[in-house]
């Protein structure tokens, strides 16, 4: 159990390194290119438990170091804009997510395939076209500002101060879910959201969605947004504290 806890906090630190590294000169060109746009095509990646379950602790540590380094490289290149691990998800194969700033799944797969976790089989990836506001890229500027202020060191056994829990809601009908959230106790609590597989309609002509809420208690969200009605899942998720400062546009479906 102690080893699992240490690995979880190391994973959270990796997210901090990766997202902070994205706030580098040169990223602003994307913002200029997106000026006036109301939506951008990204790729949403689930990192899931892979078939390689026989790795030694030493091998896993080495794989994790490579995973962390690769995340930072992708962030440096402006390709990885949001990342974070799940906390006890309904689907126990889910380990975390990446949002890749690439327009096609093929490009995202090529980039994520460079991850040592993927190469070793510890993780597998599941990629989906994802449409959201260009404002999601503002995470880069927010992290740069936070880094300039300096980040306090974490206490032993505790998460880094610039990491916190959120609640991630996935559903089969994004627009109905947006209306349900607006009627719930979590109205106004959406941090960012987007359309999953936006060009793939169901028989009911609905589009799946992902919503991240400014909330930490999954148990408090579920009665307000019943999973059976959503046709999706409500899960704990960790990421950077700066997400709550994203512009209003990031909180609205494209």
pLDDT digits (tens, 9 = 90+) for 186-242: 999 999 999 999 988 665 668 999 999 999 999 999 999 988 888 899 999 999 999
- C-alpha span between 62 and 91 (Å, rounded): 26
Q: Exposure of 38 by Cβ count < 10 A (0-12 exposed, 13-18 middle, 19+ buried)?
A: exposed
* Per-residue confidence (pLDDT) for residue 17, from 0 to 100: 43
- Token output for 97: 């997510």
Count the Cβ atoms, other than its own, within 10 Å of residue 54. Answer: 7
Q: How far is CA 86 from CA 54, 62, 92, 151, in A?
A: 22, 21, 9, 23
- C-alpha span between 40 and 101 (Å, rounded): 9
- Token output for 117: 């976790």
For residue range 10-69, what is the model confidence (pLDDT) as tens digits? 444 444 444 444 333 333 334 434 445 689 999 999 999 999 989 999 999 999 999 989
Identify which of 106, 127, 113, 115 has the alpha carbon closest to the alpha carbon of residue 71. Answer: 115
Strand partners, 210: 170, 194
pLDDT > 70? residue 134 = yes
- Token output for 119: 């190469």
* Per-residue confidence (pLDDT) for residue 23, from 0 to 100: 36
pLDDT > 50? residue 118 = yes
Domains of the chain: 2-24+39-137 (3.30.70.1060), 162-251 (3.30.70)
- Whether the CB-CB separation of 112 and 45 falls below 8 Å is answered with yes
- Hey, CA dihedral for 208, 243, 85, 73, is it positive or negative? positive
């Amino acid at each position: 159990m102690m080893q699992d806890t240490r690995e979880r906090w190391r994973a959270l630190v990796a997210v901090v390194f990766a997202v902070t590294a994205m706030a580098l000169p040169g990223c602003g060109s994307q913002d200029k290119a997106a000026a006036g746009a109301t939506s951008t095509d990204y790729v949403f990646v689930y990192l899931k438990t892979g078939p390689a379950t026989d790795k030694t602790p030493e091998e896993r540590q080495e794989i994790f170091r490579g995973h962390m380094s690769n995340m930072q490289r992708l962030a440096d290149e402006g390709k990885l804009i949001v990342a974070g691990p799940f906390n006890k998800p309904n689907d126990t194969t889910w380990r975390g997510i990446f949002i890749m700033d690439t327009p096609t799944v093929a490009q995202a797969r090529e980039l994520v395939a460079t991850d040592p976790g993927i190469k070793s089989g510890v993780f597998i990836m599941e990629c989906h076209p994802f449409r959201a506001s260009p404002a999601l890229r503002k995470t880069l500027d927010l992290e740069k500002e936070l880094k300039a202020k300096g980040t306090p060191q974490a206490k032993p056994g505790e998460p880094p101060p610039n990491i916190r829990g959120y609640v991630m809601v996935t559903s089969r009908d994004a627009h109905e879910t947006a209306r349900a959230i607006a009627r719930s106790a979590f109205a106004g609590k959406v941090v960012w959201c987007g359309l999953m597989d936006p060009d793939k309609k169901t028989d009911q002509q609905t589009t799946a969605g992902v919503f991240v809420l400014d909330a930490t208690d999954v148990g408090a969200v579920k009665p307000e947004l019943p999973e059976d009605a959503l046709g999706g899942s409500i899960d704990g998720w960790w990421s950077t504290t700066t997400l709550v400062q994203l512009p209003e546009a990031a909180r609205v479906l494209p």
